[in-house]
Structure formats: structure tokens, C-alpha cells
Amino acid sequence: MMAGQAEASLSPGAGQKSSILRNRNFRRVFAASAVSTLGTPMTALAIPLTALGLLDANAAQMGLLGTLTTISFMLFGLPAGVLVDRVSRRTLMIVADFGRALVLLSIPVAWLLDGLTLTQMYAVAFLNGTLTLFFSVSSQSFLPSIVPPARLAEANAVLSSFREGNGIAGSALAGLLIQLVTAPVVIVLDALSYLWSGTVIALIGRTPEPVAEKQRMTSGIMSGLRYVFTHEMLRPIAVSGAVSNVGALMTLTLMPILYQRVLALPAGALGLFMATGGAGALLGSYTGHRLARRVGEGRVLWMFGLVIMPFAVLVASAGRGPWQWISMTAWLVVCYQSGMYNVLLVSFRQRITPGDLLGRMNATMRFTLTGATALGAALAGTIGQLAGVREALYVAAAITATAWIPYFLSPMRHLRRLP
């Protein structure tokens, strides 16, 4: 990663004082993300509610739908990293955005033609997840090509904060719109947001990107795995994130069933629950670095994990009346942690990884972190079908409550600042 890969107008002296948004290419990435991340939480709510409300899916089918949404990260995550390091990351982002738009539009079209089936929903979930994999790995690997290393934390904080803010707005808006115009129509909005994102990213000029030497696919995959899982600080990040994601996806898979089938609450209430999670992540993005400076960037990773243990249990206690609000508040606290970790850890990973390894490092992380969500969705469907939705939510809480342990057992335990 060379300084010349950033905007020329951002000189070393002025760059540290001016807004990161003065970087023209970053501004375009931000504009693309600002719209697409508003549509993403709409689809995250609309797809399960389409399956529940229009296709009468049960807990096992909902678990399968959730698994197919993220299983691509396990099937293709590691090869994706090798590919991202070999070709233009910008081009992959554009193709993924346009592809996601077309795949999602198939749902409202099939619904209008009275031909929508669970099989199609499964196919859309899988294809959308696969394209999201390539976009995600490409975007995190592309950012250091347009932003100087010293400003990566600032750039990630801007993107993360706005993404979490959109998570709040998108979830709340989706709940209301689904009540008014049905879930398949809401999915159209997300498809349009991806069309916008792909178009704006296409406006970014060709930017020098580090390209890895060509090697066998297996060798490339192994180099990424070795780098992450032999690194004394990347390894606990991967393991802890995987545990946390299993618990989170179990919760997100089961909550629509709990709200719609058990508690008989409207879609707007479910949207509000999702929005509180976005609010927590947004607060974490904005204030987490201040908390980390006070406690220590390494120490806060496990200390805050201890703090959220009882809140994870309260999330699973969702009910009508006061317990609905108690559960929402607890979910806000749990998601605060994810917002804080995003700002601290994504920038840390980008700083310490050589440019020609970024794709494989990010893909290995995605394989581990997002692949764990496929396991979480499968566990949610299995336990929810066999033991009950409430019981499965308490299992999710127990898993979430253990995610701090890898940090506690690592060298990061006492660090005031991450290297």
C-alpha cells in the first residue's frame, strides 16, 4: 500500500487535519454504502417475513433459509480471498452489486406472478449470500488502496457509524412498510439500492491495487489460513467473532418466529427490535474508541464481554408488555459491543496485513466469522423445532455469553493499545 494510492489532494500534512470525505474516491465509496446499507436491513427483515407470512415456513425451514444466506462464506470464502488478491477489487464490487439487485428482484416478480415458492427463496438466499461474500471481501481489501494507512481507522469509523445508523432506520422503516405494502415490495427498495451502489463505485477511476503473485488455489488458501490462525492477535479475533456470530444469528433467526407466532406482535414491533440493535451498534461505533482508550484497547475486548453476559439472557426473555422493552434494551447493549469491535478490529486487521495478503486475510476472517452464522442459523432451526423457540433463544444467550474468553486467554488481555 503506497501513499500515492490515496487521493493526491490529501497531503500528509493537510490530510490529517481535513475530513476524510475530502478524499474523492472515499467519498464515492461512502455514497454507495450510504444507500445500499439502508436497503440491506430491509431485506434482512423482509425475506424471513415473506417466508413466514406468505409461504407459511416452520422453524426448521426458517433455519435452512438463514443457513443458506451465509453458507457461501463457508463454501467459497477461502477461494474468494485468493481471487480478490488476483483481480480488480473494484470490478468485483460492481459485479456483485448488480448481481444482488437482479437476484432480489426475482422475489417480487415471482410474487406478482403468483409463482413464489420456498425453493426460490432458498435459491435467492444462497445467491445473494454468495454475491455479498465477494462484495464484502473486495470492499474491505479495496479501502486501503484509496485511503492512507494512518486514516484507515477514521475511514472505517465513518463507514461503520453510517452503516449502523442505516441499520436503525432501515429496520424501523422496513417494519412499517411491510405492514403497509407487504414484504416482497420492500425487497424492491434494497435491489434499487444495490443498483445505485454499483453505479457509484463504477465512477471511481482505476486505482493501483496490490496484486498477489499467481499460485495454486490451495497454496493461496493455505497462506491466508496460516497468516490468520498462527497470528497471536488475529487468531483470538477470529475465534471470538465466530462464537459471537453463532449466538447472534440464532437470535436473529428465532426472533421473527417468536414475535409473529408466539407473541403475535406486528411486523412493526419486530422492526423496532431490529432497530434497537442498530442503535446499539451505532453507539458502539461512535463511543467505543473512547471507552477503549480509558480501559485499554486489548483489555476492553474481554472486559466488555463479561459485562454483556446478563444482557444476553434478557434478550431471550422477550415477551409482551414490559418484557418487550427490557429485551430490546438488552439487545441494544449486546449490539453496542459489535459496533465497538468493528471500529477497533477491522482497522487493526487492515493495518497489520501486507497489501497483497489483504484479500486472503479478509476472506479467512469472513469464512470464519460469517460462516459461523450459517451454523447459528442451522442450530436455531434444529433446536427451535425440537425443543421450542424460547429454549433455543436461551441456548443462543449462553453461546453469546462466552465470546470474551478467547481475548482473555490471548496476549491482547493486558494491552493498552493494539499494535
Helix (H, G, I), strand (E, B) or coil at 404: coil
Alpha carbon distance 370, 74 (integer Å) = 8
Query: CA gyration radius for the chain?
Result: 20
Assess contact for 238 and 69: CB atoms under 8 A.
no
What pLDDT sits at residue 117?
93
Alpha carbon distance 189, 170 (integer Å) = 10
CATH of the domain at 263: 1.20.1250.20
Q: In this model, does residue 7 exceed pLDDT 70?
A: no
Angstrom CA distances, 63 to 32, 71, 256, 333, stand at: 31, 12, 11, 25
How many other CB atoms are found less than 10 A from the CB of residue 413?
A: 15
Assess contact for 343 and 157: CB atoms under 8 A.
yes
Q: If residue 186 lies in a helix (H) or strand (E), which one and from where to where? A: helix 183-202
What pLDDT sits at residue 115?
92
Mean pLDDT over each residue of the chain, to the nearest integer: 83
Nearest alpha carbon to residue 250 among 359, 378, 123: 378
Q: Is residue 6 part of a domain?
A: no
What pLDDT sits at residue 130?
92
> How many residues are there in the chain?
419
Cell numbers that stand for 353 in this block:
496485513
What total number of domains does the chain contain? 1
Q: In this model, does residue 331 exceed pLDDT 70?
A: yes
Q: Would you place residue 12 in the very low, low, confident or very high pLDDT band (cuts 50, 70, 90)?
A: very low
Assess contact for 162 and 37: CB atoms under 8 A.
yes
What pLDDT sits at residue 121?
94
Q: In this model, does residue 118 exceed pLDDT 80?
A: yes
Alpha carbon distance 118, 113 (integer Å) = 15
Q: Is residue 173 part of a domain?
A: yes
Mean pLDDT for the stretch of residues 255-278:
84
Alpha carbon distance 89, 135 (integer Å) = 8
Assess contact for 316 and 396: CB atoms under 8 A.
yes
The more confident residue out of 356 and 393 is 393
Assess contact for 318 and 370: CB atoms under 8 A.
no
Q: Would you place residue 14 in the very low, low, confident or very high pLDDT band (cuts 50, 70, 90)?
A: very low
Q: In this model, does residue 201 exceed pLDDT 60?
A: yes
224 burial type by CB count under 10 A (0-12 exposed, 13-18 middle, 19+ buried): buried
Q: Is residue 240 part of a domain?
A: yes
List, as own/partner pairs, every contact residues 326-329 make where C-beta atoms lie below 8 angstroms and the sequence separation is at least 24, other chains included. 327/273, 328/272, 328/273, 328/276, 329/276
Q: Is residue 371 part of a domain?
A: yes
* Residue in this structure with the C-alpha cell 406478482, named with its chain if needed: 112
Highest mean pLDDT (candidates 54-58, 171-175, 263-267, 349-353): 54-58
Global pTM reads 0.68
What pLDDT sits at residue 213?
64
Q: If residue 126 lies in a helix (H) or strand (E), which one and from where to where? A: helix 118-146
What pLDDT sits at residue 173?
83
Cell numbers that stand for 19 in this block:
475530513
Helix (H, G, I), strand (E, B) or coil at 167: helix
Q: In this model, does residue 120 exceed pLDDT 90?
A: yes
| Range in 21-30, 316-325, 345-354 the model is least confident about | 345-354
Q: Would you place residue 126 in the very low, low, confident or very high pLDDT band (cuts 50, 70, 90)?
A: very high
The more confident residue out of 17 and 255 is 255
Q: Is residue 210 part of a domain?
A: no
The more confident residue out of 281 and 240 is 240
N-to-C CA span, the chain: 18
For residue 153, which phi and psi values (nearest 5 degrees)? -60, -40
Crossing angle of helices 89-112/77-86, nearest 10°?
130
The more confident residue out of 96 and 212 is 96
Mean pLDDT for the stretch of residues 377-399:
89
334 burial type by CB count under 10 A (0-12 exposed, 13-18 middle, 19+ buried): buried
Mean pLDDT for the stretch of residues 340-359:
79
**Widest Cα–Cα separation across the chain:** 61
Mean pLDDT for the stretch of residues 108-123:
93
Q: In this model, does residue 413 exceed pLDDT 70?
A: yes
How many other CB atoms are found less than 10 A from the CB of residue 53?
A: 15
Mean pLDDT for the stretch of residues 226-236:
90
Mean pLDDT for the stretch of residues 301-314:
85
Highest mean pLDDT (candidates 80-84, 110-114, 316-320, 349-353): 110-114
Q: Would you place residue 378 in the very low, low, confident or very high pLDDT band (cuts 50, 70, 90)?
A: confident
Alpha carbon distance 330, 87 (integer Å) = 43
What pLDDT sits at residue 5?
33
Mean pLDDT for the stretch of residues 405-418:
84
* Residue in this structure with the C-alpha cell 469464512, named with its chain if needed: 367
Q: In this model, does residue 62 exceed pLDDT 90?
A: no
Q: Is residue 209 part of a domain?
A: no
What pLDDT sits at residue 110?
94
Q: Is residue 211 part of a domain?
A: no
DSSP code, position 205 = P
The set of residues, in sequence order, having a beta carbon less than 8 Å from that of 347 and lying 6+ positions away, is 152, 153, 156, 157
Mean pLDDT for the stretch of residues 321-332:
90
Q: Is residue 400 part of a domain?
A: yes
Nearest alpha carbon to residue 380 among 127, 134, 75, 69: 69
Helix (H, G, I), strand (E, B) or coil at 163: helix
Side chain identity at 414, as an amino acid letter? Answer: H
What pLDDT sits at residue 156?
79
Nearest alpha carbon to residue 186 among 39, 8, 300, 298: 39
Host domain of residue 243: 21-204+216-414
Q: Would you place residue 212 in the very low, low, confident or very high pLDDT band (cuts 50, 70, 90)?
A: low
Assess contact for 32 and 197: CB atoms under 8 A.
yes
Q: Above pLDDT 70, what percent of the chain?
A: 94
Angstrom CA distances, 6 to 27, 64, 116, 143, 283, stand at: 12, 43, 46, 10, 29
